[in-house]
Structure 1
Amino acid sequence: MHRSVAALPLVAIAISAPAYAGEEPLYQPAPAWVDEADVAGLIAEDGPATILYDWQHRLEDGVAWGYIDWVQRIDNPQSLMQVNTQTLEWLPDKGDLIVHRMEIHRDGEVIDLLEQGVTFDVLRREQGLEQRLLDGSLTATVSVPGLREGDVLRISRTVSTADQALGDEVQATQYLPTEPWQVGTARATMSWPADEEIYWGVEDKVDLPEPELRDGYRYLSVELPLAEPDPVPNDAPRRYHRPAILRAGSFADWQEVSAVMAPHFDQAATIASDSDVARLAREIMAQTDDPLDRTARAVRLVQDEVSYLLNGLDGGNYLPQSAEETWDIRYGDCKAKTVLLLALLREMDIDAEPVLVSSQMGDAVPELLPLPAAFDHVIVHAMIDGTDYWLDGTSSATRLATLANVPPFHYALPLREGGAGLIPMTQRDLAVPQMRANITMDHSAGIDFPALVTVNIEFSGPAAAQMQAMVDADDPAMLQTLARNFAGDEAMAMQVSSLTLDYEEDDAVATVQVNGVTQPQFEWIDGRLRSSVEPGEDVNDFNPNRARPAWRDIPVATPGPMRQQFGMRMVLPQDGTGFTLEGERDVEMGFGNLRITRTASIDGNELLATGETFARLGEIAADDLPEARRAARRISSNLLELVPPESVTWRWELSDAERFERAAPLLEAYDQAIDFAKEDDFQPLIARALFLRSIYDFDAAMADFDVLVEEQPSSWAFRSRSWLHRTQGDRDAMLADMQAAYELDLDNGVAREVAEMLAYEGRFDEARELMQSLAVADDDLIWHYSTLATIAAAEGKLEDAEAFMSDAVAQAPQSADALNADCWFRGLWNTGLDDAVDVCTRSIERASNAAAALDSRALVRFREGDYEGAIADLDGALAISPGLAESLYLRALAKMHADIDGAEADRTMALRMAPYLEDFYARHGIAVPVS
């Protein structure tokens, strides 16, 4: 990153003597040209704590003077702490810091601190060294003696700037604050001799009058703060977001800026034939005859062999150090690296020139007043075989393959003898992807088993260079942290069993390889089993807001440049038999500056898919937005889905031996993920515990949850272990864990579960007491009354229970949830059966997912002896949710009563999934028929 200092952004080491040597602050009255504010009346008025901010600039004889008068009231202890220490900055090689006033106004008295001998201490500011920044500024600091709450502090000073690189030219900029900035009085003024040609502008941000002529000087003044600007959409180009800045300078156009700056770079890039830089160029030429390869080698040398140090000492804002000096000391800023690269390329007869660019203003640069301050960076523009190349010595990992990449600066100003105008940096597709991601997924264990996964990601360019430091560090803790990013926030996204990093220096490619285990890739939604194939960019979020009339003509900025490549290989379950693809397999679509390609196929037992996304820096015109939105929607709706055959084998249909055999490699991966993770990272352990539970190895799952409850207790962990205790028939432990969960999370839902457990254990008073202690919101009343009904029914008070259930339904008579609760209650407790089917049917009709309601109606029909009707409802429930153990068990009993085949298979699978079901239904009088 490159930053501005005193509005003169390009900072490096000087090659000429400073114009001023202001190493110490001067203490003098304000210059005669300053229009000093009378603050006596302002201080007496109530208003904002900042009483005055007065900025005045004078441009004359190649010097820019900046005067600031600041008056602040100390309203509270926090303000006193913030204001007590004051710091002032300036560039001593370019001018002076002149302090005019440092006063405390107290109860009508003015305490002149300068008269009392209070002065500023001078520090050389080097806080930026850890970011390789040394800007050459000095800092004057003072702790204001005797300052109290209620005082008013006034400090005024002037900083002069005569930049060595600009010669007789001059520039100044002033930010213009806008509302809601709170200030009593504020203004900004620019002035210059009437006989000097000074240009000024604030783009289209402020409607300023022509400068006023007074006493031979022209004055341009604006009262502050400006009105708060109208909002613009976040995705508008930079020119719509730029702040209001008053700019003034002696440059007539960009050509003059170019002509003034060019000699400094040409001089610094001039090298002797026997210099080390010339020798380096000859060595490169001896290695290859290809000018592109030569250029790439020169860029790599500058990037890798010269470290970055932004050095602003002695004229370095615009003056570059020489190429020979840069190579000798092996460090430099953007200007130094540009000059060294320029010297190398010119020595090899490659057409090259320095160009100024802005990393911040981008597309707004052509609308700015022509000033050197419009730029904060400099790079090299080379022309090879008719193609433009934009070469940044401060970037990293540039190689021949990436040499043609265009950086995101929009415009460049060539520095040429005689001057040049702005030229656009025309975008093009990146030559190679910045990222290549290839995923291999072994899903052969089964449709509803996790998958073993290997992710291989290659990075090129600057992203690869950043990873080189990680490779060199070889820090296990860092790898664990990186692995955690792959796992995702939801514990089940992916559990990483190993992660390796590698960096290939010749090609500047970094590789991350991640092995692990991820959740099943197939989803069962509304009776459909599908897996989305999405190797590419998600454009669902593209919906620019241009609803406001003032926004309708504002284009949309498109980020870039970007190129990413994706590949996926999945080993399919069931040896791939019957798997198909639905949707377009081969796609090339796009909108605006985005282009997406995709192709997919099934080859035997494997799914193969690739995708690539290209994005260019630029914008979409407002008139083109409707079609761009439609194109984005077409891309989003162009789904490609992997569809399993209608008949699949679920894990509960497998024998224990076959299920555990398929699970073995997955459990090994979970074990490795647990070993790889940090000691305090329990996500892999949670994932293994849930997987063990899903394959019905309840004892092993219990062991994992024992660890979680001990090491990372949570309501969720206790509730999960409570369910496992239920599978083992340990009611006391089940209840104890639910009570512990409620103590950790006073959630009404957990409380209701505890209350029902207490009721089933015959502890009715405790159950009612717990329910009475709850604060129940209106939207929770259905479940509150339903639980009270369960407690009463368990106690044998069916009349009271029915009354409570009526209260539950009365809360929302048309609610599918309320009707289903009533339906389930009637079937479970064998009461109110006369119109129960009607209640259940209404619940089914209103439900978005009818599986639970169908199961409830099946229970009612079972109670009525309508076993075939019950079986039909249970078939419907299982068609929607195949894994409903309760429906499988009840269907088994219904088949037994109706003497229909398949009962024992249903019963075996149901009890495999939920061993407690037999006891639960038996407690309600629903049991295997006695033959």
Structure 2
Amino acid sequence: MKTLRFAALASISLLAHPAFAADKLLYGPPADWVKPIPVRPDIAPPGDVPVRPLLQDQQVRLDRTAQYRFLRSMMKIQTAQGLSAGTINISWKPDTDDLTIHKLLIHRGDQVIDVLAKGQTFTVLRRETNLERAALDGNLTATIQPEGLQVGDVIEFSGTLKRSDPVLKGHVEQAGATWNGATIAQASFRASWPADLPLRLRQTEDLPVPKPEKAGDRMTLAIQMDGAKPLIRPAKAPPRFQRGRILEMSDFAAWSDVADLMRPYFDKTAQLPATGPLQDELKRIATLSPDPKLRAEAALVLVQTKVRYLALSMNDGGLVPAAAELTWSRRFGDCKGKTVLLLALLHALGIEAEAVLVNSPTGDGIDAMLPMVGAFDHVLVRAHIAGKTYWLDGTRPADTDIDRLEVPTFVWGLPLIEKSALVRIMPEPLKEPSVIARSRIDASAGAFAPAPFHGEIILRGDNALKIRLGLANASAEQKDQAIRKLMMQRYDFVQFKTTAMKWDDRTGSLTLGGDGMATLEWTERRYSPDGMDVGNRADFTREPGPHQDAPFTVGYPAYFQAEEEVLLPATGFTLVNGEAVDKTVAGAAYTRRASVDGKLFKVMTTQRSLASEFPAADAPAAQATLRALFARKVHLVLPESIKDPAE
């Protein structure tokens, strides 16, 4: 995550996931609204596992000023390996929440040991666990290892989290019944909210349908599942089919309401001071060119290179951006701070642009969710220049040519504009290869003799930029080792003597090169060029379970091209399976061309994805086709005039 929290869709298990609380842990009994759930040990599932979950009781109380989440869990330690599960770690942040610990008990037969009453306490640590990711969240961590824990013990823990986030301005959003891990003997979820709160509900089909009931001035619902087993998620399906069980609750009527809530925070902070260093930078950019595209490039590079990235998830729930002037003066900022700084510059330059909220890891499926602020974890800029849309991300490295920017695969985004709605964010299929592997082997001295080899791997787009930046400060020896390793991943049959790297600023491409010696491998007088296969050993089978008919994912966008030339020692070489291949299957297009012209053998293959997924109904035929293509390997056959030394 970059800054906007995805907490609304996380499990509320305080044992399995981070929680949030005030500066100090609070201790006390549960509130009156918590309804005790009787434990029924007779329904505990059998199984030889290190830890056996016996109970997970989630109860939620939603109010306009605060949201409460109660958890009670019980688990049995069944093996020595399971003892580590007894360590409880709770991370929390002090700006929005309070956490009250109710109980920490060990049940040993008929004996009940009260860990806290015996004097053992949580140790509270202040540590930043994501510093290596340039992220500060202000979290504290409380940890406790119950003393004397033994195999056969049952650990019982309960606590309540209270969240008061002023940024939401009385809106409520919550998620629960996320029973997707180990089999839980007894799983229950209960929620209550004011009867006049227009709360909307959405549950996945894998959960019982809740029936809200009115009790006084509040509405309540309850879900009970005995023996809640982990779901079998459909293999190779898009992320929207991988979420598992979840019950969503939100009082946002539409995504436009989420945008209306968040837009003022960005509008207020995306302002430039009347005078000062930022105005000087603005004037410098304005004098570079009257071309709005070049101005936008300069503003983007300024934000990307002069303000280092640092995720700041503290204060205001981690949702409100720092002012543009503050981010500039700090010279560091998170995605929100960088976005408002870039917006302020673009607006001052007369360029139309707005912030767009996205979910960077799993945007697929947001369109089917209830509207929530917590559905997003990142924000970037959508700019409109000369009728073209550009997606500008201040957290990226220097993008010196925005025409080369790839449309990100966030799938869905929410622009912070009036009357907003979700917008699709998916690139078109690539028009040119993002990776070209090209090699030339000089076997003119003999088919079985060591042959000079020259290879190149040409990279375009983000992969090229990532490698270039990763090697920017490396020594010559380190660069050679890194390039050699990358080349060997493709050409593992080559003994490389020298390597090279070249960056083309005009095209944004990186060329990795290597020279060495290779020996052609002849099997039964046939040579099969390495990496020139078409198709693959596709396996589109799935275990029985929900969503077996879900589409299959395709690596998208992708476009790979491989070329090989071999200078031959004589004429008379022939080809097997050298016919042209042009096949579109499983969301991708495959081609191959092979030829022998005198003493020159050439082969080229391409694989280009055309869609991000394909229908499950096509899978059986696609699997057969891909396997059949893969089996038809192209072979170069020795002429009778050349003898194999092994014969």
Which band: TM-score by shorter chain? 0.7 to 0.9
User: Contact 1:43/1:51 (CA < 8 Å) preserved in 2?
Assistant: no
Deviations 1:814-839 (A, max 9, x none): xxxxxxxxxxxxxxxxxxxxxxxxxx
* Number of the residue aligned with 1:649: 642
Any residues of structure 2 matched to 1:375-774 within 5 Å, and which? 375-396=376-397, 398-400=399-401, 403-417=404-418, 419-430=419-430, 433-467=433-467, 468-474=469-475, 476=477, 479-480=480-481, 483-484=484-485, 486-487=487-488, 493-503=493-503, 508-520=508-520, 523-525=522-524, 529=526, 531-532=528-529, 538-542=534-538, 544-545=540-541, 553-574=549-570, 577-579=571-573, 589-597=583-591, 605-624=599-618, 632=626, 636=630, 642=636, 646-650=639-643
Deviations 1:687-745 (A, max 9, x none): xxxxxxxxxxxxxxxxxxxxxxxxxxxxxxxxxxxxxxxxxxxxxxxxxxxxxxxxxxx
Instruction: Evaluate the alpha carbon distance shift between residue 404 and residue 473 of structure 1 in structure 2; reply closer, same or farther with a 3 A threshold.
Output: closer
Segments of 5+ residues of structure 1 without an aligned counterpart are 11-19, 653-882, 885-931
User: Contact 2:494/2:518 (CA < 8 Å) preserved in 1?
Assistant: yes
User: Contact 1:597/1:612 (CA < 8 Å) preserved in 2?
Assistant: yes
Structure (1 or 2) with the greater helix fraction: 1
Instruction: Evaluate the alpha carbon distance shift between residue 164 and residue 611 of structure 1 in structure 2; reply closer, same or farther with a 3 A threshold.
Output: farther
Give the distance between the partners of 2:186 and 2:575, measured in 1 at CA: 70
Give the distance between the partners of 2:382 and 2:512, measured in 1 at CA: 33
User: Contact 2:6/2:374 (CA < 8 Å) preserved in 1?
Assistant: no
Larger RCO (CA within 8 A; separation ≥ 6): 2
User: Contact 2:21/2:93 (CA < 8 Å) preserved in 1?
Assistant: no
1:115 deviates by 4.7
Deviations 1:737-767 (A, max 9, x none): xxxxxxxxxxxxxxxxxxxxxxxxxxxxxxx
SS of the equivalent of 2:197 reads coil
User: Contact 1:398/1:461 (CA < 8 Å) preserved in 2?
Assistant: no
Give the distance between the partners of 1:432 and 1:342, measured in 2 at CA: 31
Give the alignment partner of residue 70 of structure 1, picking from 69, 73, 83: 73
Structure (1 or 2) with the greater strand fraction: 2
Deviations 1:588-644 (A, max 9, x none): 543354234555666765445555443245222345557756775786577665555
Instruction: Evaluate the alpha carbon distance shift between residue 399 and residue 274 of structure 1 in structure 2; reply closer, same or farther with a 3 A threshold.
Output: same
User: Contact 1:177/1:226 (CA < 8 Å) preserved in 2?
Assistant: no
CA RMSD of aligned residues (A): 3.8
Instruction: Evaluate the alpha carbon distance shift between residue 471 and residue 445 of structure 1 in structure 2; reply closer, same or farther with a 3 A threshold.
Output: farther
Instruction: Evaluate the alpha carbon distance shift between residue 335 and residue 43 of structure 1 in structure 2; reply closer, same or farther with a 3 A threshold.
Output: farther
Any residues of structure 2 matched to 1:31-46 within 5 Å, and which? 31-38=31-38
* Number of the residue aligned with 2:90: 88
Instruction: Evaluate the alpha carbon distance shift between residue 500 and residue 334 of structure 1 in structure 2; reply closer, same or farther with a 3 A threshold.
Output: same
* Number of the residue aligned with 1:365: 366
SS of the equivalent of 1:255 reads helix
SS of the equivalent of 1:430 reads coil
Give the distance between the partners of 2:94 and 2:330, measured in 1 at CA: 24
**1:339 counterpart letter in structure 2:** V
Deviations 1:366-392 (A, max 9, x none): 112221222222222223333332233
**1:141 counterpart letter in structure 2:** T
Q: Does 1:192 align with 2:186?
A: no
Deviations 1:273-309 (A, max 9, x none): 4354444344334334443343344333333333222
User: Contact 1:406/1:561 (CA < 8 Å) preserved in 2?
Assistant: no
**1:519 counterpart letter in structure 2:** T
**2:361 counterpart letter in structure 1:** Q
User: Contact 1:199/1:250 (CA < 8 Å) preserved in 2?
Assistant: yes
Any residues of structure 2 matched to 1:139-218 within 5 Å, and which? 139-145=141-147, 147=149, 151-178=153-180, 181-218=182-219
SS of the equivalent of 1:191 reads strand
Give the distance between the partners of 1:548 and 1:141, measured in 2 at CA: 40
**1:101 counterpart letter in structure 2:** K
Instruction: Evaluate the alpha carbon distance shift between residue 532 and residue 123 of structure 1 in structure 2; reply closer, same or farther with a 3 A threshold.
Output: closer
User: Contact 2:187/2:227 (CA < 8 Å) preserved in 1?
Assistant: no
1:106 deviates by 5.3
1:500 deviates by 3.3
Give the distance between the partners of 1:502 and 1:485, measured in 2 at CA: 14
**2:266 counterpart letter in structure 1:** F
Give the distance between the partners of 2:101 and 2:194, measured in 1 at CA: 24
User: Contact 1:401/1:432 (CA < 8 Å) preserved in 2?
Assistant: no
**1:100 counterpart letter in structure 2:** H
User: Contact 1:402/1:432 (CA < 8 Å) preserved in 2?
Assistant: no
1:175 deviates by 4.9
**1:442 counterpart letter in structure 2:** D
Instruction: Evaluate the alpha carbon distance shift between residue 146 and residue 637 of structure 1 in structure 2; reply closer, same or farther with a 3 A threshold.
Output: closer
1:582 deviates by 6.9
SS of the equivalent of 2:130 reads helix
1:520 deviates by 0.6
Count of equivalent residues: 633
Instruction: Evaluate the alpha carbon distance shift between residue 94 and residue 488 of structure 1 in structure 2; reply closer, same or farther with a 3 A threshold.
Output: closer
Instruction: Evaluate the alpha carbon distance shift between residue 342 and residue 596 of structure 1 in structure 2; reply closer, same or farther with a 3 A threshold.
Output: farther
SS of the equivalent of 1:472 reads coil
1:364 deviates by 1.5
User: Contact 1:570/1:607 (CA < 8 Å) preserved in 2?
Assistant: yes
* Number of the residue aligned with 1:346: 347
User: Contact 1:383/1:389 (CA < 8 Å) preserved in 2?
Assistant: yes
User: Contact 2:297/2:399 (CA < 8 Å) preserved in 1?
Assistant: yes
Identity of aligned residues (%): 31
Instruction: Evaluate the alpha carbon distance shift between residue 609 and residue 21 of structure 1 in structure 2; reply closer, same or farther with a 3 A threshold.
Output: closer
SS of the equivalent of 2:58 reads strand
Give the distance between the partners of 2:287 and 2:432, measured in 1 at CA: 27
Q: Which moved more, 1:73-82 or 1:267-276?
A: 73-82
Give the distance between the partners of 2:222 and 2:363, measured in 1 at CA: 28
**2:567 counterpart letter in structure 1:** V
Deviations 1:390-418 (A, max 9, x none): 2333233534276442212211111223x
SS of the equivalent of 2:316 reads coil
User: Contact 2:186/2:227 (CA < 8 Å) preserved in 1?
Assistant: no
User: Contact 2:106/2:113 (CA < 8 Å) preserved in 1?
Assistant: yes
Give the distance between the partners of 2:591 and 2:290, measured in 1 at CA: 36
**1:590 counterpart letter in structure 2:** T
Segments of 5+ residues of structure 2 without an aligned counterpart are 11-19
Q: Which moved more, 1:241-250 or 1:339-348?
A: 339-348
User: Contact 2:183/2:229 (CA < 8 Å) preserved in 1?
Assistant: no
**1:23 counterpart letter in structure 2:** D
Give the distance between the partners of 1:71 and 1:632, measured in 2 at CA: 49
* Number of the residue aligned with 1:831: none
Length-normalised TM-score, structure 1: 0.61
Give the distance between the partners of 1:385 and 1:596, measured in 2 at CA: 36
**1:135 counterpart letter in structure 2:** D
Instruction: Evaluate the alpha carbon distance shift between residue 263 and residue 433 of structure 1 in structure 2; reply closer, same or farther with a 3 A threshold.
Output: farther
* Number of the residue aligned with 2:287: 286
* Number of the residue aligned with 2:27: 27
Q: Which moved more, 1:620-629 or 1:210-219?
A: 620-629
Give the distance between the partners of 2:9 and 2:335, measured in 1 at CA: 11
